[in-house]
Structure 1
């Protein structure tokens, strides 16, 4: 008979980590429209779907271990040396690997207050301390980030554009941040929403990665129609790529994902339609909702963050939308913005539905 008082014990700090909270979905079989996870409103690239089906003919074999098929496509389209690319099981996989590689006991990682909620999880899991820095009007503050750097700082996490706010830093500001860092601090530019940015002063980060020895850029396919396939990719200096490749899983991207990702990368027409649709309805919804009772923070991503007078009003708005079959993201529990809701850009019908419901709610209140 075993003694239940004696059992395997997690490493110190693991049970202090709050788990990641995904956006809510509708009940199985419901017709609810999910606007809580920033997924593609136009589905998946037809070319990616066909490539995924083709992979079904080869499910008995291991995938090529370095994701060469996918790296080749990414290098071709984005003008990158394929040897500087690492692919992963979603960008979360790569973020975890970066934390595991460059953070440890006694180290610190710096992030802005409302940055992606995965950053504290992976930092603490590596035994390091997360340092959260206050923002200026829901936008990362370069001076505040630099002021938070100490001799213990090893990593800066920067989502650009940021989730859940949709705000971004210009190329000049990102470069100013990098210029203020010691060369032994790794700047991680998380460009998960880069496909949707239309701001002229934005840079995805590739040029800076090419110029510096302490910058990496992380991307994902999840926002462009392949969330279910779990594909992420990273570009970095040769020494970072070498370190990550030493500890990543040898077959961490499955063959269907590799083939679908390569096809999606080359399907520039579908990606352009997705970007155009998003810009049109993001700007339309922002204009429709922004008022004395609702503030929409300007967004460059495929979602908007709406701020209500208080947390009670935000909760009422969430429930009202949910009751009408529109599920958005509550951002109080994960991000500490209880008066806000994050709304993914969806179909025209969904956007008009959200606007009509929230505007009517404001008039009633």
Structure 2
């Protein structure tokens, strides 16, 4: 008779949970009272005034549960983007939706594919579902369609694609994304994470709605965080009916609070503010890239609201970070979290912030 195995003396997480490297956000404090945070890709112009008013108005109804499906927000998104509100699911930030998608479509023995320098939340949600993440090498910090397709196996269930990508700022064209999708089996879910779509100026870019509309295995995920509502935590996704149904079955019943729903709806409709934010970003993204692209720094062309600056080596990057830090300019180190130790990610801020960054780094050797 086999002796029973010893039981653990405390609750034990599922296999693999302890192997997950927790998400580490960018630093948010620096010496001096007037430090400037350029580490989290937040809006340099604040939030839409209409969204702020809507958020404040919600204070009169804090005793009431929010409508469970975020209907007011879904209707606003449908109106602005020309989509069916029933194809939309809202979440507590886009990270909430990424986690839900992983829980729905990944399990023990499954694989999810992503590019090497893709968003660091993808490995977390994949491993949390018991699946394995497959990292695929890039070409000059850009996702490689052929390499992604070559990494697909019979175990692949999801392909994660941030477009534009964080932290590199690079993107795949509409034609490249369509080619990626065409090469996938019909049972593989392509998740197009368009978190930075509001800032793209490239004419050959698509947010992914075209593929969602005519495919049974594509979803597009978006966020309000980069357009001034990071504190409100609002994400949304568009997908085919069967994916929407699956996600709605496991999401929290009130996963988007009422102030966030109302603020998000107002922000979505405030197209003029979104355009002003995009114009500001394009101006100062191009300016900082031109200022910093020198013989000892390389700025990777970006379509997001940040730039990735590459230095000769990790030591130079660390010294550059410290020089900025001492001036109260907080940028993002991307060595530990993204495996690019020679790089810094710098959010596009106000004109004065961008000029201050350029002044420090141009004098830095």
Tell me the TM-score normalised to structure 1 length: 0.97
1:51-110 deviation digits (Å, cap 9, x = unpaired):
000000000000000000000000000000000000000000000000000000000000
Q: In structure 1, what is the Cα distance between the partners aligned to 2:41 and 2:322?
A: 19
Q: In structure 2, what is the Cα distance between the partners aligned to 1:111 and 1:315?
A: 27
Residue aligning to 1:83: 86
Paired residue for 1:43, among 36, 46, 52? 46
Cα drift, residue 115 of structure 1 = 0.1
The gaps in structure 2 that reach 5 residues or longer are: 1-7
Paired residue for 2:301, among 280, 298, 301? 298
Residue aligning to 1:168: 171
Paired residue for 2:322, among 303, 319, 322? 319
Residue aligning to 1:236: 239
Q: In structure 2, what is the Cα distance between the partners aligned to 1:78 and 1:347?
A: 28
Residue aligning to 1:56: 59
| Pairing 1:336-355 to 2, within 5 Å after superposition | 336-355=339-358
Residue aligning to 2:148: 145
Cα drift, residue 291 of structure 1 = 1.0
Q: In structure 1, what is the Cα distance between the partners aligned to 2:62 and 2:347?
A: 34
Specify the SS of the correspondent of 1:150: coil
Alpha carbons of structure 1 residues 59 and 28: separation in structure 2 relative to 1, 3 Å: farther
CA-based RMSD: 1.1
Cα drift, residue 26 of structure 1 = 1.0
The alignment status of 1:19 with 2:18, answered yes or no, reads no
Residue aligning to 2:280: 277
Residue aligning to 2:134: 131
Q: In structure 1, what is the Cα distance between the partners aligned to 2:212 and 2:27?
A: 35
Paired residue for 1:247, among 235, 250, 256? 250
Residue aligning to 2:3: none
Specify the SS of the correspondent of 1:305: strand
The gaps in structure 1 that reach 5 residues or longer are: none
Cα drift, residue 235 of structure 1 = 0.0
Cα drift, residue 28 of structure 1 = 9.4
Q: In structure 1, what is the Cα distance between the partners aligned to 2:176 and 2:364?
A: 39
Cα drift, residue 111 of structure 1 = 0.1
Tell me the TM-score normalised to structure 2 length: 0.97
The alignment status of 1:158 with 2:167, answered yes or no, reads no
Residue aligning to 2:13: 10
Q: In structure 2, what is the Cα distance between the partners aligned to 1:121 and 1:30?
A: 34
Residue aligning to 1:30: 33
Cα drift, residue 30 of structure 1 = 2.7
Cα drift, residue 29 of structure 1 = 7.9
Runs of 4+ in 1 over 3 A off after TM superposition: none
